[in-house]
Amino acid sequence: MKHQVITKTDDQTRNLGHRLGQAVTGPVAIALTGDLGCGKTTFVKGLARGLGVNARYPVTSPTFTIINEYPAAKNLRLCHLDLYRLGSAEELAYTGFDDLADAWAVIVVEWPDLLKEDRFAFDLELKFSFDSDYHRVISFFVYGQTGANMLSKLFS
């Protein structure tokens, strides 16, 4: 782990997402892990704006839709997944996920465990947890050069 940020409000979490979105220059896959209600979707709301997703697209949790997609800047699209309700990695095939991996996309996945078992290669993982004051502790883990470049931009 290289970096850790503590956010005291949901606005601060959104803001961190916004800044990470601004650090994106091309396709990247980001895993968001941590317990229910720890702020993963809140983070993506900010990330979307930082990626240039127009404010007329409200970012909602993909809990039931599994995948939500939004057009972003730089010809990218934001693909926001929540695999909490998915029973198996095979079910993922029905969501059209395989096509995404080749697309010019920012892939952000809540509850990514099934994909990790499938050895899908994430560039970055953000682990969310609560501290004793109920603030959010967000720890960054880098798995490759793309992730490393983004983090050096974010924390420079």
Ligand X SMILES: Nc1ncnc2c1ncn2[C@@H]1O[C@H](COP(=O)(O)OP(=O)(O)OP(=O)(O)O)[C@@H](O)[C@H]1O
Which residues here bind Mg ion, judged by CB under 5 A?
40-41, 61, 110
CB 57 within 8 A of CB 85: no
In contact, 88 and 115? CB cutoff 8 Å: no
Options 2-10, 68-76, 92-100, 113-121: segment touching ligand X (CB under 6 A): 2-10
Residue 39 binds which entry of Mg ion, ligand X, none, with Cβ cut-offs from 5 to 8 Å by kind?
ligand X
Of the residues 5, 10, 101, 116, which one makes contact with ligand X according to CB under 6 A = 10
* Shorter beta-carbon distance to Mg ion: residue 129 or 149: 129
Contact string 97-116 vs ligand X (x = CB under 6 A)? -------------x------
Nearer to ligand X, 99 or 133 (CB): 133
96 scored as a contact of ligand X (CB under 6 A): no
Q: Which of 17, 30, 31, 40 binds ligand X (CB under 6 A)?
A: 40
Closest CA to 39 of 108, 105, 110, 143: 110
* Contact status: 9 vs ligand X (CB under 6 A): yes
Question: CA of 59: how far to CAs of 4, 41, 149, in Å?
Answer: 25, 8, 26
CB of 142 within 8 A of CB of 3? no
Cα separation, 142 vs 35, whole angstroms: 20
Q: What CA–CA distance (Å, rounded) separates 121 from 114?
A: 12
**Cβ of residue 47: shortest distance to ligand X, in angstroms?**
12
Contact pick of 41, 59, 72, 108 for ligand X (by CB under 6 A): 41
Give the tokens for residue 119. Answer: 């050895």
Distance between CA atoms of 113 and 154, rounded to whole angstroms?
A: 26
Binding site for ligand X (CB under 6 A): 7-10, 12-13, 36-42, 61, 82, 110, 135-136
